[in-house]
Structure 1
Amino acid sequence: MLPAAHRLTRPAGFTRAVRGGRRSGTRTVVVHLAAPEGPSAAPAEIGLVVSRAVGGAVVRNRVKRRLRHLLRERCAGLPAGAVLVVRALPASAAASYDGLGRDLDTALGRVARPAPAGASA
């Protein structure tokens, strides 16, 4: 379970990350990270999007539980004040816990890197 301080619950936060953040995808997940505009003391907020395309209710809940557990371990590595949205893709239903973790690490590593000079976000 994610700590309450790290849960993203407001729709505006989801919109900010998806429309204004950096995006990276893998076979099982797509992550959107909106970094804070200045120094922030607020904790990073994390939201999940697991649609019906992933599977039935049982499958979606299993994927959400796995992602929440994986993200709980990675909260400390996010910049303070950042907003992270993780969208599960249909392949996440069949992925192992370790495979989901590797894909999540890959995607987070890509969006956490500084943007190349001259690139627009």
Structure 2
Amino acid sequence: MLPTENRLRRRQDFGEAVRRGRRAGRPLLVVHLRRDATDPHAPRGERPPARAGFVVSKAVGNAVQRNLVRRRLRHIVRDRLYLLPPGSLVVVRALPAAGSADHAQLALDLDAALERLLGRDSHGEAEGRVAR
């Protein structure tokens, strides 16, 4: 389960990540990352933790399939929260192919998308490379 302080809940936060953040598309999902989003509810001078939200539409499958995909994505993102800068917003949108993908395939796509969004240094290595 994703810790409460790391969950995106408000529609405005989802919208900000999608509209103002960077996007990386993969065959199974699309990841939107908004770095350093300021939370108006956070105490002054304190940087809120990174927060993540998930969008799994009916195109992915029936309710059972959608919830399975959402649970898998939550678990994968929870293990990668340390990679995200404090105060960032992440929205993971599952594409229809995600409904038939297993946990490992979703993890590979998410890792590749995060690697692209978090940037590369001059040697082509990702900052905070994800262990596989």
Do both proteins adopt the same fold according to a TM-score greater than 0.5, normalized to the shorter chain?
yes
Aligned to 2:57: 51
Structure 1 unaligned spans of 5+: 115-121
Larger radius of gyration: 2
Query: What is the letter of the counterpart of residue 103 of structure 2?
Result: Y
Q: How does 1:1-121 map to 2 (within 5 A)?
A: 1-36=1-36, 41-113=47-119
Which SS does the other structure have where 1:107 is aligned? Answer: helix
**Contact kept in structure 2, 1:40 and 1:80, CA below 8 Å:** no
Query: What is the letter of the counterpart of residue 59 of structure 1?
Result: Q
Normalising by structure 1, we get a TM-score of 0.90
Aligned-pair distance for 1:89? 0.3
Q: Distance in 2 between matches of 1:40 and 1:74?
A: 22
The count of aligned residue pairs is: 114
Query: What is the letter of the counterpart of residue 76 of structure 1?
Result: Y
Stretch of structure 1 that moved more, 35-44 or 85-94: 35-44
Query: What is the letter of the counterpart of residue 18 of structure 1?
Result: V
**Contact kept in structure 2, 1:36 and 1:80, CA below 8 Å:** yes
Which SS does the other structure have where 1:17 is aligned? Answer: helix
Identity of paired residues, percent? 50
Aligned-pair distance for 1:96? 1.3
Structure having the higher helix fraction is 1
**Contact kept in structure 1, 2:37 and 2:88, CA below 8 Å:** no
Runs of 4+ in 1 over 6 A off after TM superposition: none
Which SS does the other structure have where 1:85 is aligned? Answer: strand
- More relative contact order, 1 or 2 (CA 8 Å, 6+ apart): 1
